[in-house]
Amino acid sequence: MRPRLPIRRFLLRRPLRPPNSLRPFTQNTLATRPRPQVPFLSSPTRRPTAARFLTTERKQWIKQEVWKAGKYTTVIWTLTVLIAMMAFGVQQEWLERKFPSPREWSWISRKDFRSTRWDEDADDERDGLVDWARTGEGFRRLIRRLEDPNIDGAGLQEQDEGGILVAGVGKTGFDISKKPEPWRRGYYTVLMGAAKAAEHLDGWVRDKTRNVAFPANVVIGPSNPNPQPVPPGAKSAPREEDCETAFEAPETYYMRILTTRGFSEKQRVDAALAYAAWLDFKRTPEAALEMYKWALDIATSSTPQSIVDPATGVINSDAGLPSENILTTATALAVHHAVNSDPNSALPIFLSVLRARKSLPDVPSAKLSTHVPDEEARGMFKSTLSTITSAIIPPQYPPAPSDGTSTPFRESKERCEEAGIMTYIGEILYASKISKTSKEDGLAWTREAVDIAEEELRSRRVNNEGKKTCKQCLEVGLGNWAAMVTLLAKEEKDAKVQNGKGISWLSFGGESPKEISGRWESEEQVVKERTRRASEVLTDSAGKSGSSWLAM
């Protein structure tokens, strides 16, 4: 008989349940709590859960970055400002050495003076175009500051009660005789700079709506029916109803200098000669001649009147040695006569000036050591020491120049002036028909002038101011020499052709008259060789040569 106990236990442990009914474990689990959501088992949803970006660590990092950015920005801007201030200081120090300003002026006036002089100097040193409207406004602003008693004009006195007004010129000058000499010299430089700017701005207008200066030929209006186009890149042309005169007339500033009490004789003479040259440029020779005579009166005010003939301007060699102002004024008067086609009046003045210059005393031996022409004369050690010292010690204002009332010595600069006078004489003789040999005489004077100028340049005895005079004389002399020889060679060739018309072309091996080199053709080659040789001493070959008035 088989045992039945195991079967019975199995049936008791598995309770009976109806079909298609849920299991108690599954039913209880789903009914009471959900299943745990495991990340790698859960299905992705459309909206991701929001993450917490601004944590405590991130806040700390942002604070550090903001602090670093502020620190670096402060350091960079501080260094930038300091470097800009250092660059400005170095530039002003360099400009002070190039254009010294009077110590008696205020700091702003000195800064404006240096900047304005630098703008004016662009035409010569930097080979650029000068903004004369800006330069003239700078000088005009300086004049207002120097004449303002509350700024730099303390102590200026009117020559009469309320000043003197001249029609077409304006107010006359002040009495600046109580001012220090550096102040007066700086004031003179500003007035002459304003006069020069006025010459360049003659005929210009200023657009009041934009404060921009334009030439008068570009203005759009009834008085200019065919306006010229403005240059590329310039602002649009102004309308006539919006324009006014851009600057005062040059005589405003020249007459201010001539009527100011306190300027030296040379300063007044230079202003009168500059005004006369401007009148010559404006083609008013009668007014220019009166101004030259005025300059001659100023130059002879401190010397005996008999030394110069007031009617002709000829220097009397028996009346004594002339002053520097008399030599300069007489030369300018002779040039005026020559430019205006009056060689008969110009030639006697030139000859008297040349005679007077040749009679000047030589430099005393005691002063020869002080006439050091070049920096090359000093040793390298002294030059280096001087450069270091000048970089550390502030520069001193240059001493007062000569007032022109004394007789100059016959040094290298005066010899260069003699060569210039001989060049003028050569031009007059060549262009005139005084005698049959006047052309050859003029050519001989020109040759000698070239020889003297080249000799002085090669001797290295001349100073910087004399170098400029010698170079101009040598350039003009070589140009005149070449022009004279070219004309004579052309005349020689034409005469040779005319004389050779009757000769047969069957010369049996002989040379044709056209192939024979004449005297002036040979001298043409000499002039070319001299020009090539002179280029060694004419280092400033790109500079402007003096103008010639050969064709009168």
Enter the DSSP assignment of 371.
Answer: -
Q: Exposed/middle/buried for 369, CB within 10 Å: 0-12, 13-18, 19+?
A: exposed
Check residue 40 and give its pLDDT: 58
Look at the alpha carbons of 439, 442, 448, 452 in this order and tell me if their dihedral is positive or negative.
Answer: negative
Q: How do residues 132-148 score in pLDDT, each as one tens digit?
A: 999 999 999 999 999 99
State the helix-helix crossing angle for 324-339 and 285-299, rounded to 10 degrees: 170
Check residue 225 and give its pLDDT: 87
Task: Output the average pLDDT for the chain.
Answer: 81
| Section 157-185 average pLDDT | 76
Q: Tell me the two tokens of residue 544.
A: 């402007």
Question: Residue 16 pLDDT more than 60?
Answer: no
Contact assessment for residue 148 and residue 233, using Cβ atoms and an 8 Å cutoff: no
Q: CA 475 from chain center: how many Å?
A: 22
Using alpha carbons, select from 211, 201, 202 the residue that is nearest to residue 238: 211
Check residue 533 and give its pLDDT: 85
Q: Tell me the two tokens of residue 497.
A: 């052709």
| Section 266-280 average pLDDT | 95
Question: Residue 509 pLDDT more than 50?
Answer: no
User: Where residue 504 falls among pLDDT bands split at 50, 70, 90?
Assistant: very low
> What is the CB-side half-sphere exposure of residue 504 using CA atoms within 13 A?
4
> pLDDT exceeding 90 applies to what percent of the chain?
38
Check residue 67 and give its pLDDT: 94
Q: What is the dihedral of CA 382, 386, 387, 391, to 10 degrees?
A: 160
Question: Residue 551 pLDDT more than 60?
Answer: no
Reduced DSSP (H G I as helix, E B as strand, rest coil) percent helix, strand, coil of the chain, to 5: 60, 5, 40
| Section 161-168 average pLDDT | 55
Question: Residue 13 pLDDT more than 80?
Answer: no
Check residue 202 and give its pLDDT: 92
Using alpha carbons, select from 297, 264, 308 the residue that is nearest to residue 404: 264
Check residue 545 and give its pLDDT: 40
User: Where residue 57 falls among pLDDT bands split at 50, 70, 90?
Assistant: confident
User: Where residue 544 falls among pLDDT bands split at 50, 70, 90?
Assistant: very low
Of residues 88 and 20, which shows the higher confidence score? 88
User: Where residue 292 falls among pLDDT bands split at 50, 70, 90?
Assistant: very high
